[in-house]
Chain A
Amino acid sequence: MAEKFDLNEREVWDGNYAASQALRQARVDVVAAYPITPSTPIVENYGAYVANGYIDGEFVMVESEHAAMSGCVGASAAGGRVATATSSQGFALMAEVLYQASGMRLPIVLTVVNRALASPLNVRGDHGDMYLGRDSGWIQIDAFNAQEAYDLTLCAFKIGENHDVRLPVMVHQDGFITSHTAQNVYPLSDEKAYEFIGDIVPVDDMLDFSRPVTYGAQTEEDWHFEHKAKQHKALMDSRPIIDEVFEEFEKLTGRKYNRVEGYDMDDAEVVIVALGTTVETARVAAQELREEGVKAGVVGIRVFRPFPFDQVRDMLENAKSIAVLDRSSPGGAMGAFFNEVSAALYTTPNRPLITNYIYGLGGRDFSVSEAKRIFLEQKTNVDAGHITTDIQQFSGLRGPHLGYFQTKRS
């Protein structure tokens, strides 16, 4: 039986520590992990809990991230509660197995500390790895600070293991900005946290020898398509269950999460739409601009997959000019996030003006003053009645302005 871990009602934790405590409280059966910056401390802390007797589950040291996720697939198919952590290059090496895990409908929890993808090599935060996972069939939940990294990791088990979901879940946090920033965190007691998540009830577990099952079967054109369609439907159908889990979490803690978060949106004319810590930094800018009479608002995407197409549309359809911020190198296209938000807004009668900012790659600072500048560019668009800038611009880049495409006007 695991030793009791003493927790205070108020702790000062960074995002990594918060995530590792959530994994401890979830009483995970198997963690198979290979540490990588900036998620290393999640694995390090967890390893220390194991060594000090705070954990009854198994900790499997493996030789790579590919093996880490493979170990998770095996343990999850066997019927255990399973989790791991990674970032960046490790995430990329896991990519093959991520698709295996979701295709086999295994409710693994992966805490991802977002970091840029090489080359050039860079250990700092951007969303390149998060975007790499966006078609992998996993639920992707995004924390904007350390408290949320803790809360949402607890929620992730309850969502993924729900028998009407049965999907793996990633919980993202920004490398360094969240993972290495200590702040006030208000944890649940071990009992309350575990009671909220509950025991895992496996489905088709391989260790049930009375009922043999096959995982990872081959299907060609006869059935592959139907399997992938079912997987997509499972992701789409997970939306109300994610909402239920968030409601239950609110009853327990008073902390309310939504698949799309809106701040100052009731009468907002100019809006920043973003992911991660940028959502909170942009809120500071919006509040300061409101004191100057600018009707600024912020929309943060809490659940990146399944993408909340309808909620994004509802939240933004009355705005006048919207900046969608992509923290991932777009690789010869508009930002992927911009494209998704734009597609949702194209189906509204108003079709607000919408522009794309590429920012913060490799950990480049995103400041309150830069957020204000972006808001004010949207204000200029509103006053002019059309987009006055390039539709895609790089924000915070050194050297000459970089931007592409202009609005067609008659």
Chain B
Amino acid sequence: MIEIRWHSRAGQGAVTGAKSLGDIVATTGKEVQAFALYGSAKRGAALRAYNRIDDKPIITHEKFMNPDYVLVIDPALAMTDDITMNDKETTKYIITTHLEKDELISQIPALQDKADRVYVVDCIEISLDTIGRSIPNAPMLGAFVKVSGMFELDYFLENMKRVLAKFPQKIIDGNMQAITRAYNEVK
């Protein structure tokens, strides 16, 4: 089973991102789960969203997980939230930031022995440039596709169009660009 934990603020689209990822992974024949820990959260409040992916039906309903991937879509949460909580020796981190990777890691003690598993991408800037709003979830999906190697980019884009079908073409195009740019820029 692959487990993913998203760190986000309410309004940044982590829940939608997790559900979109689940939707697309399911088309490959896998079983998925996507959920979030929120409730009365107001916009801007820190929240966590989760994905599970497996070849067989997923019957665990615990919120606890040891994530394989940690996706941080708010730059400040990398500093203030406990992003390494319950991690493993193989956990990979994808963090949205305008900083260079070395600069970021130097500011987060918990990441200092994990540098080879940390990836950075500026999802905020990418979403502002492509979608016109600070919606860092779509670029994070592009970065995840690259880092995980779970899909070919084209396959992911085609399926994402289906997930976004109810939106105007301009929004769909913006999301496609955001995903592609983050795929190419994550490092």
Contacts and interface: CB of A to CB of B under 8 A. Distances in A.
B23 interface: yes
Interface in A356-398: 363, 365-369
A369 B18 CA distance: 25
B: interface residue count bin: 20 to 34
Contact of B59 (A37, A283, A363): A283
Contact residues on A (Cβ < 8 Å of other chain), bracket: 20 to 34
Contacts of B142: none
A12 B59 CA distance: 15
Interface string A273-314: 000011011011000000000000000000000000000000
A284 B60 contact: yes
Interface stretch (B3-11, B26-34, B92-100, B123-131): B26-34
Interface stretch (B61-69, B74-82, B110-118): B61-69
A280 B59 CA distance: 5
Contact of A176 (B18, B23, B39): B39
A183 B64 contact: no
Given A12-B22, A12-B26, A124-B39, A184 B62 contact: no
Given A12-B19, A123-B40, A182 B62 contact: no
Interface in B38-77: 39-40, 57-64
Contact of A12 (B23, B60, B61): B23
Nearest to B162: A8
Contact of A182 (B27, B35, B39, B57): B35
A368 B60 contact: yes
Candidate in B22, B27, B32, B35 with the most chain A CB atoms within 10 angstroms: B35
Contact of A365 (B18, B22, B26, B64): B64
A367 B64 contact: yes
Interface in A66-108: none
B36 interface: yes
B61 A184 contact: no
A183 B33 contact: yes
B32 A183 contact: yes
Nearest 6 A-B pairs (CB), nearest first? Answer: A277-B61, A280-B59, A181-B35, A367-B62, A182-B34, A12-B23
Interface of A: 10, 12, 37, 123-124, 145, 174, 176-178, 180-184, 277-278, 280-281, 283-284, 363, 365-369
Interface of B: 18-19, 22-23, 26-27, 31-36, 39-40, 57-64
9 contacts: A12-B26, A123-B40, A124-B39, A180-B35, A180-B36, A182-B22, A182-B23, A280-B59, A367-B64
